[in-house]
Amino acid sequence: MMNCWKSININKQYGKRWVNLISCFTALVTFILLYVPFSMLHQGNTVSDSGITLFLIAIILLPTLHSLLHILPLIMINRRINLIINRKKALPIFTFHTDAHIKKYAYILSALAPTIVITVPGILASILFPSIHVYFLLITSLNIGLSFLDFLIIRHILRAPKHSFVEKDEEGFDILLKAN
């Protein structure tokens, strides 16, 4: 038996416009903070426009990949989830709901997965490919902007008691504690 410690609906609590605005701001600041040191690192190199086609494809696929990477850690630990595919635009966005609760740290791993899996290779590629480093930095920055919502959720979950569980539904998520 579980007791609900806290129910969180990010859209109700913060507002969708505010979250989107801060996400865009986070992406912009991230790009500025990454671009300055990388432009100093690659001073002698000119930026090539040869990667523009792949960059545009990556930008189009980024939200889909980001949403899919949230689900991948849960699949890897054999958690049962209900996969929901939203097709608002041309490409799908994946979300999930859980039938059962997930341990706090497994949910945090799921929330951090897109940030880690896309950001680390993006920064490494920016170092390895100086002629197209700007494209990798833009993709990395946009991904970190998309991750702002994940960081808000992680902030709430980290404040929860140590042995808590998380259950995600359509409205948001609940932080649960085992009943004594």
Name the CA dihedral angle for 1, 173, 69, 61, rounded to a multiple of 10 degrees. 150
Q: Which residues contact 119 (CB under 8 A, 6 or more apart)?
A: 140, 143, 144
Q: 29-46 pLDDT, tens per residue?
A: 999 999 999 999 988 888
pLDDT tens-digit map of 114-133: 999 999 999 999 999 998 99
Please state, as a whole number, how many other Cβ atoms lie within 10 Å of the Cβ of residue 20: 13
Q: Confirm if 112 and 154 have CB atoms less than 8 A apart.
A: yes
Stated pTM of the model: 0.89
Report the candidate in 57, 20, 60 with the shortest Cα–Cα distance to residue 145: 20
At 170, is the pLDDT very low, low, confident or very high (cuts 50, 70, 90)? confident
Instruction: State the pLDDT at residue 158.
Output: 94
pLDDT of residue 62: 94
Measure CA of the first residue to CA of the last residue in the chain; give whole Å: 8
Compute the mean pLDDT over every residue in the chain, rounded to the nearest whole number.
Answer: 89
Q: Phi and psi of 64, rounded to 5°?
A: -65, -45
- The total of structural domains in the chain comes to 1
Q: Which of 150, 113, 152, 145 is nearest to 31 (CA)?
A: 145
Q: What is the pLDDT of residue 19?
A: 93
Range of the domain at 26: 2-178
Segment (H or E) for 176: strand 173-178
What is the pLDDT at residue 44?
80
Q: Is 159 exposed, middle or buried, given 0-12, 13-18 or 19+ CB atoms closer than 10 A?
A: exposed
Inform me whether the pLDDT recorded for 70 exceeds 80: yes
pLDDT of residue 66: 94
85-96 confidence digits (pLDDT tens): 887 767 787 887
| Cβ–Cβ under 8 Å, residues 102 and 79 | yes
